[in-house]
Structure 1
Amino acid sequence: MKIGILGTGGMAAALGGAWTTAGHDVLIGGRDPRKAKLTAESVGAAGHGSLDDAARHGDAVLLAVPATVAPQLAGGLAGRTVIDCTNAISPTGDGLMLDPGSGARQLAAAAPGAHVVKAFNLCHVSIWTLRPPMFENVPLTVPYCTDHPAAAAVIETLISSIGCVPAACGGLARAGYLEATAALAIGMWWSGGQPRAAFPSPAEV
């Protein structure tokens, strides 16, 4: 599958590397051509270029940019599967909080005709560098939300191809739950907690 990645940071490199290893055709795009080239070379991606180059390249497009920037880059993606891995969260005195006016639904509003998917936002960037992500001999589950059956098929292919298990969690109306879960889980990690321990398997109860 052709995948365009908008961004040159940690998530762009980690997921770009995972998909390249899985045999996908990945192009890294960024505002800084030098950074795009370095990121592409570091993960063995097929190519690099501008943000527009990456957007045009991909049957699927990953927005690996800050959450506040993502809606500004979503134009011209009608008919594409657009993957939102961002977390619009900010530290406060009460812990990590969701930023108002951000998230997958706002991204979808800024990209009419695009098939937006919320996915890959719950784990630290280091998890996506594992080949495959597996814990206690169990493959990592990747929840996702989307309103589009075609986008669901694309994201399930991309998740499965890196050795993970896709988990459909409803439409974009439920994407806010994934975003809130990220704020809770990341906050627990930062404070030294282990969010995984809060969700035992029913078989273990």
Structure 2
Amino acid sequence: MRIGIIGAGNMARALGGQWARAGHEVVFGARDAARAEEAAALAGHGARAVQDPARAAEFGAAALLAVPAGVVEEVAAAAGVAAGRVLVDCTNPLAMGALGVPEPTTAGGPSMAERIAAAAPGARVVKAFNVCHESVWRLTPPVFDGRPLAVPLCGDDPAAVSLVAGLATDLGATPVPAGPLPRARLLEAATAFAIGLWFTGHDPQAVFPPPHHAGGPA
């Protein structure tokens, strides 16, 4: 598959590099052309840089939007993502809260994914890959205690969600369809909550019982 990576930071490099190694045709496009060239060189496996984010957005079947949350709507609008193209949002709209832990800047809605959809009308936006630090996406594969990492996916278009699920599988992760795009609000808030627990030395996984106990005694 042809994949355009919009951005050249750590998330762009981690995910783009893994997809290049998995055999996808990957290009990087960023406002800083030198950083895009560097990202492509580090990815290897035929990855290359293109002139700017707009070229990356128009390159293939899917584009990953991996830029800082503060500029993501501006970049999405300027990239001119074509109608029907799958646009993957991996951003985390976070700011340090009064209690010293991250809080979502989109808590009152709409989610960042919905804002991206408004900035790029016609694009089929899927929220994915935002829960984990970029270092996790460099693992081959991301498996912990024998269990592959699960990747929640929020999107309105079933075909787009299926395509992104395939990209998650290519990383060695397990895709988990998590509902339509408005549920990205919950995913962004849950990610902020989990990051707050990690910051304070707690394990978010320990908060939740296994599925067979989730509804009460087995």
TM-score, structure 1 normalization: 0.95
Secondary structure in 2 aligned to 1:57?
Answer: coil
Secondary structure in 1 aligned to 2:70?
Answer: coil
- For residue 165 of structure 1, what is the aligned residue in structure 2? 174
Aligned: 1:120 with 2:121? no
Structure 1 stretches of 4+ with a deviation exceeding 4 A read: none
- For residue 53 of structure 1, what is the aligned residue in structure 2? 55
Cα drift, residue 58 of structure 1: 2.5
The partner residue of 2:144 within 135, 151, 158 is 135
* Count of aligned residue pairs for this structure pair: 205
Aligned-residue identity in percent? 47
* Most deviating of 104-113 and 40-49: 40-49
- For residue 27 of structure 1, what is the aligned residue in structure 2? 27
Superposition CA RMSD, Å: 1.5
The partner residue of 1:179 within 164, 181, 188 is 188
Cα drift, residue 33 of structure 1: 1.3
Secondary structure in 2 aligned to 1:192?
Answer: coil
- For residue 73 of structure 1, what is the aligned residue in structure 2? 75
The unaligned stretches of length 5 or more in structure 1 are: none
The unaligned stretches of length 5 or more in structure 2 are: none
1:98 counterpart letter in structure 2 = P
Secondary structure in 2 aligned to 1:31?
Answer: coil
Task: After superposition, give the CA deviation of every residue in 1:140-188 in whole Å (9 maximum; x if it has no partner).
Answer: 1100100001211211111111111110010011110110011001111
TM-score, structure 2 normalization: 0.89
- For residue 199 of structure 1, what is the aligned residue in structure 2? 208
Q: Indicate conservation of the 8 Å contact 2:111/2:185, yes or no.
A: no
Secondary structure in 1 aligned to 2:19?
Answer: helix
* Most deviating of 72-81 and 16-25: 72-81
